Amino acid sequence: MNFLAPLAFALTALLPIIVALYFLKLRREEQRVSSTYLWRTLVRDTAANAPWQRLKPNLLLLLQLLILIALIIALARPFTWSDSTASSHLIIVLDTSPSMSATDVKPSRLAEAVATAQRLMAGLPTSSHATLITAGSQSPNLSISTVPVSNFQSLISTGDFASALTMAAALAAREADSEVAILSDSHVTLPPNFTLPSRVRFIPIGSGDNNQAIGAFSVQGDAGGRSLSGFVQVVNYGSSAARRRLSLYADGRLWTARELTLLPNQSQAITLADLPANARTLEAQLEGDDLLALDDRAWAVPPSNAAISVRLISAGNRFLETALRLMPNVELTVHNPISDTQLPTSNLQLPTSNIQLTIFDSFVPTDTLPSGNLLFIAPPRSTDVFTLTGRIDAPVSAPVVADDPLLRYVDLRDVLVQDAARVSLPAWGRAVIVDSKSGSPLLIVGEDGGRRIALLAFDLRRSDLPLRVAFPILLANLLDFLAPGSAAGIPSNVEPGRPLSIVVPPQASAVSLRAPDGQQYRITPQDGRAVFAQTNQLGVYEVSFEASTAAPTRFTVNLFDANESNITPRHTLQIADCKLQIADCSNQSTISHQPSANEWWLQLAWLAFALLVAEWLYAYRGSVARVLESVPHVVSRVRPALNRATTK
């Protein structure tokens, strides 16, 4: 307990004055008795110290002293340091990603984080206000609306942590005395070079790490189409070994089960052969308990045999054409932009064909880009979706992220490129391969307006990449991304919360989707595409097309995210140069954390007032008792008069 105005304690000198006044003021009523003989002996027996005996039974004096003490302490303005912020604007970034549903803290990490947010709110000075930003609110089975957040002045929901921090940074930039509090288990991915312009406090949530997850689950058909084989990857993210049973269900019926012993921090791959060929849905399930149940189930649908229609617009590229023709389930259509009369240069919207992917090789149309996914290779000029700013000589290819799925099994070492176009990174895309010298992107992928786009900045004919093993693998990976294998451009598996762009057959009037919980969605397509964003639930989704002969298709939403499944709490969060730990961290070194002071004078003033009322009631208890006794009498006299008045 500290005091803002300790000089007020000088007023304690009034205490003995009150006592002295009490002695002076006390006029005992004289009462004549026959003899004080018995009283003398009684008082002599009990009164060791007469003055204090006089004080002892006097409740009034005690109450008056307490009132003065309470007022003096209130005037001294006592306060306690609080963990909450002293800032005028507290921005709380609340992680609602799937890992926050772990139950290592009861009832869940998210509930704990919300409770912490409420505590931070309660400790705010009265002049301050707070904003709650949820990060990852589209995570499966988590909704911030289920927790009480009514105390927050404003509530903003964002899709991912980077967006949330960007929002927090924007809000913090508007008020100098802001503070950002991040409540997370730090299983978040932040963009590089991200900074926050205010004080930042990181409050880690969670304590346990016992989690086993299905990291991958896929089903492939054999060459004859008589049976299916499955591949399941089970990962133990915990620090101790675990025994789990892996059960595989085909259309809801148990097909097979395996007992697994999983070593700490190791994965185990299981291949399941001879799965029923006619199964429509396969589900892998880890029996037993761990801290995160979301990743204990995974679903897969057998791959569709529907061919992927790919259109190549090229003046002639043998490497590319050969590689595409060798890929299974690819129906390739090649157009020469110079000689092909079927290719209208003004408009590339081909009349009836359902093209899922268009590849522009060293060519871009002058007019509107066609619908469907696009792959640009060595574009000669800028388009609506990217901008060329020059050329790079002899770029050195290097991956941006080592374990990027698009570069899986792709070895870029010693790949020679003569030159490439310098492309500024568009807002929709991310760089997969960059020039290690200039940092200019060489391969960009992303989604823009519901369609997937990829751009390779160099001409394959001016590189030795087509001569390497890496080329067909890279092309296959790109094809998986741009035309994900199933019909209507629907990939067999979708990340939770990620919007899905569906290529709608021309004659279809609407797209119907049925979520795993049975809820039906109906989407009217625009520009030949329908975008479905409610992919929050894990499980199997069914897609059908109204007024179309196109076969219904299915896709799954699985939490194959190692970052979320690895629930080991981290006590640091790296943002730019600032490694946030449990303690506060500020990007501005001059600003240090200032705990807030909770003042108690108001409570003490109320206490003094309550004591004053009690003292008054005690002093006039006789009068009060008489008044209370007279109430029934008054009521009994008034009631007949009221009754008479009511009757009249």
Partner 1 sequence: MTKSLLAPSFLAQLDRLVLVTRQSRVGALKGERRSPRHGGSVEFADFRAYAPGDDFRQIDWNAYARLERLFLRLFVEEEDTTVHILLDASESMNWGEPRKFDYARRVAAALGYIALVGMDRLMAAALGSSNGATNRPTDDQSMRPLRGKAQSLAWFNWLSRLHANGVASPTLTLALAHYAATMRRPGRLILLSDLLDDGWRDGIKQLARSRYELTLLHILALEELDPALEGDLKLVDSETSAAVEITADFDLLARYRVHVRDWQAEWQQFCAARAIHYVPIATSLPFEQLVLSVLRRRGVLK
Q: How far apart are the first and last CA of the chain?
A: 65
Binds partner 1 by CB under 8 A, chosen from 24, 29, 174, 223:
29
Residue 183: phi, psi to the nearest 5? -110, 105
Residue closer to partner 1 (CB basis): 45 or 259: 45
Nearer to partner 1, 46 or 589 (CB): 46
Considering only residues 31 to 50 of the shown chain, the ones binding partner 1 according to CB under 8 A are 31-43, 45-46, 50
Q: Burial-class residue 35 by CB neighbours within 10 Å (0-12, 13-18, 19+).
A: exposed
The CB-of-23 to partner 1 minimum distance in angstroms stands at 12
Q: Measured from the CB of residue 620, what is the shortest distance to partner 1 in angstroms? A: 14
Q: Which of 205, 185, 197, 190 is nearest to 91 (CA)?
A: 197
Least distance in angstroms from the C-beta of 37 to partner 1 = 4
Q: Which residue, 63 or 86, has its beta carbon nearer to partner 1?
A: 63
Closer of 32 and 413 to partner 1 (Cβ): 32
**Among the candidate windows 54-62, 313-321, 365-373, 592-600, which touches partner 1 by CB under 8 A?**
54-62
Closest among 533, 463, 565, 619 to 62, alpha carbons compared: 619
Q: Report the 3 state secondary structure along 534-565.
A: CCCCCEEEEEEEECCCCCCEEEEECCCCHHHH
User: Which helix or strand (DSSP H or E) is residue 53 part of?
Assistant: helix 50-55
* Sequence-ordered strand ranges (E) for 282-425: 282-287, 297-300, 308-314, 330-335, 357-361, 373-377, 387-393, 397-399, 419-424
Q: Which residues pair with 243 in a beta bridge?
A: 261
> Is 81 an interacting residue with respect to partner 1 (CB under 8 A)?
no
3-state SS, residue 106: coil
Q: Are 399 and 433 in contact (CB under 8 A)?
A: yes
Provide the minimum distance between the beta carbon of 51 and partner 1 in the complex, in angstroms, as a whole number.
11
> How distant is the alpha carbon of residue 489 from its chain centre?
28
- From residue 390 to residue 409, the character string flagging contacts with partner 1 as x (rule: CB under 8 A) and all else as - is --------------------
> Rounded to the nearest whole angstrom, what is the least distance from the CB of residue 38 to partner 1 in the complex?
6
For partner 1, which stretch binds (CB under 8 A), given 22-30, 92-100, 296-304, 401-409?
22-30
State the Cα–Cα distance between residues 559 and 326, nearest whole angstrom.
32
Q: Considering the complex, what minimum distance in angstroms separates the CB of residue 151 from partner 1?
A: 50
Q: How far apart are CA 220 and CA 232, in angstroms?
A: 12
DSSP class per residue in 423-450: EEPPTTEEEEEEETTT--EEEEEEEETT
Supply 467's token pair: 């001569």
Of 483-522, binders to partner 1 (CB under 8 A) are none
**Of the two residues 57 and 328, which places its CB atom closer to partner 1 in the complex?**
57
4 versus 624: smaller Cβ distance to partner 1: 624
**Among the residue ranges 51-59, 203-211, 215-223, 292-300, the one whose residues contact partner 1 (CB under 8 A):** 51-59
C-beta closer to partner 1: residue 54 or 462: 54
Query: Could you tell me if 420 and 397 are in contact, meaning their C-beta atoms sit under 8 angstroms apart?
Result: no
Q: In the complex with partner 1, which residue's Cβ is closer, 30 or 403?
A: 30
Q: Rounded to whole angstroms, how far apart are CA atoms 648 and 642?
A: 10
CA-wise closest residue to 586 among 67, 197, 321: 197
Amino acid identity, position 450: G
Provide the minimum distance between the beta carbon of 26 and partner 1 in the complex, in angstroms, as a whole number.
6
Nearer Cβ to partner 1, position 59 or 269? 59
| Shortest reach from residue 617's CB to partner 1, in Å | 17
Determine if 353 is a binding residue for partner 1 (CB under 8 A). Answer: no
Binding segment for partner 1 (CB under 8 A), chosen from 25-33, 246-254, 547-555, 588-596, is 25-33
Interface with partner 1 (CB under 8 A), residue from 30, 403, 414, 577: 30
Q: Which of 48, 57, 637, 644 binds partner 1 (CB under 8 A)?
A: 57
Least Cα distance to 250 among 222, 225, 227 occurs for 227
Location of structure tokens 């629930």:
567
In whole angstroms, the minimum distance from the beta carbon of 16 to partner 1 comes to 21
CA–CA separation, 178 vs 91, rounded Å?
Answer: 7
**Nearer residue to partner 1 within complex by CB, 37 or 589:** 37
Minimum CB separation of residue 67 from partner 1 in Å reads 21
Kindly indicate which of the ranges 27-35, 157-165, 393-401, 568-576 contains the residues binding partner 1, using the contact rule CB under 8 A: 27-35
CB of 21 to partner 1, least distance (A): 15
CB of 14 to partner 1, least distance (A): 23
Which segment (21-29, 300-308, 428-436, 553-561) binds partner 1 by CB under 8 A? Answer: 21-29
12, 17, 21, 58: which one contacts partner 1 (CB under 8 A)? 58
Nearer to partner 1 among residue 31 and residue 346 (C-beta): 31
> Rounded to 5 degrees, what are φ and ψ at 73?
-65, -40
Beta partners for residue 451, in sequence order? 448
Q: 19 or 162: whose CB is closer to partner 1?
A: 19
Nearer to partner 1, 59 or 170 (CB): 59
Size of the site for partner 1 (CB under 8 A): 23
Give min distance, CB of 36 to partner 1, in A: 4
Of residues 423 through 452, those in contact with partner 1 by CB under 8 A are: none
For residues 378 and 461, give the distance between their C-alpha atoms in angstroms, rounded to a whole number.
10
**Full 3-state SS string of 181-243:** EEEECCCCCCCCCCCCCCEEEEEECCCCCCCEEEEEEEEEECCCCCEEEEEEEEEECCCCCEE
Q: For the chain, how many residues are written?
A: 648
* Residues 307-331 as b or e (16 or more Cβ within 10 Å = b): ebbbbbbbeebebbbebbeeeeebe
- Give 58 or 572: the residue with its C-beta nearer to partner 1: 58
Least distance between partner 1 and beta carbon 17 (Å): 21
Say which residue the tokens 């000669």 belong to.
Answer: 380
Residues lying near partner 1 in the complex (CB under 8 A) are found at: 26, 28-43, 45-46, 50, 54, 57-58
